[in-house]
Amino acid sequence: MNQPSQMVLAKALGQAMRAALAADEKVVLMGEDIGPLGGVFRVTDGLQAEFGTDRVVDTPLAESGIVGTAIGLALRGYRPVVEIQFDGFVFPAFDQITTQLAKLHSRSRGRLRVPVVIRIPFGGGIGAVEHHSESPEALFAHTAGLRVVSPANPADAYVMLQEAISSDDPVIFLEPKGQYWTKGDVDLAAGPYGSAAVAGPAVTQRFDTLNKARIAREGDDVTLIAYGPSVATALKAAAAAETEGTSIEVVDLRAISPFDMATVNSSVAKTGRAIVVHEAPVFFGAGGELAARITEECFYELEAPVLRVGGFHAPYPPAKIEHEYLPGLDRVLDAVDRSLSF
């Protein structure tokens, strides 16, 4: 059995792409500054030197052109992995993603597949300037034909990115930039390309991380449902609540669209209370869809209304006050108290 390696989330993503590039010659990476620089967050560090400029392609600053080229390559049998430098820069490519990438499979009645992965660092908490801390997941989740996923720890980042690359569906892969330097254990033999990353027997285990949520912490009194960067906040809230005798279960959704309703329902049926936590604005956000589904499917198990904690319906603020906008520990714990008071 392979021993897990300790690494940060950004490094785990790079290792996932290294394994995919080694295992499948049809995998190509594209993006601005992903070559010698290794990407603005150094996620692709060293990959161009190892696999060449034909497979790790530094592109012009033209997001729509990058995604359009990726669609063409996918139709010719390649598996492009696109990097968008920051969340707020994806919108020039929004037309290509929503009107072409998301629809080609359905429009061709299944004859065309477009296995494109679009990696987007998303979320706040790093003190960045305007357009660098957006949470656009609801915009993509509302578009049928796209998978929208986000890992919350290095182990999931490693396996989920491999599974996204090996998927025949287009995947919006949201990377929680505030968690890039979070360290954790990673099994380099895991995932569909993992055997190409280490010397040893191939691993045949399927993780199904694009379809299956995980219970990040077990509890009995309240269920916190989160994804990406908000999982860390939910776990901190659960640890704080435990000191006051409240047992909180944390569901890491992993996939935002489609999401694993069975795991959510099972947890809510156990605790009777649900709170959705995300950084994006609550107004018309992913939490609204989750709250509606929980209410429809768990109505007779609920002891309190489903609550949501997230960003405000306002443009993302300047870095100095972003902590007022992001759902922090106090706002999550306040929601826990409100839920328990019903």
Task: Give the chain's count of helices (H) and strands (E).
Answer: 12, 14
99's tokens: 């009107």
The one catalytic residue among 105, 132, 142, 278:
132
CA distances 203 to 70, 164, 187, 297, Å, are 29, 17, 11, 37
- CA atoms of 46 and 51, how far apart (whole Å): 9
Q: Are 332 and 234 in contact (CB under 8 A)?
A: yes
132 is catalytic: yes
Q: Are 138 and 280 in contact (CB under 8 A)?
A: yes
Question: Which helix (DSSP H) or strand (DSSP E) does residue 104 occupy?
Answer: helix 104-107
CA distance from start to end of the chain: 49
- CA atoms of 5 and 102, how far apart (whole Å): 36
273's tokens: 């209370």
Q: Are 148 and 122 in contact (CB under 8 A)?
A: no
Helix H, strand E, coil C: the string for 160-221 is: HHHHHHHCCCCEEEEEEHHHCCCEEEECCCCCCCHHHCCCCCCCCCCCCCCCCCEEEECCCC
Q: Which residues are catalytic?
A: 132
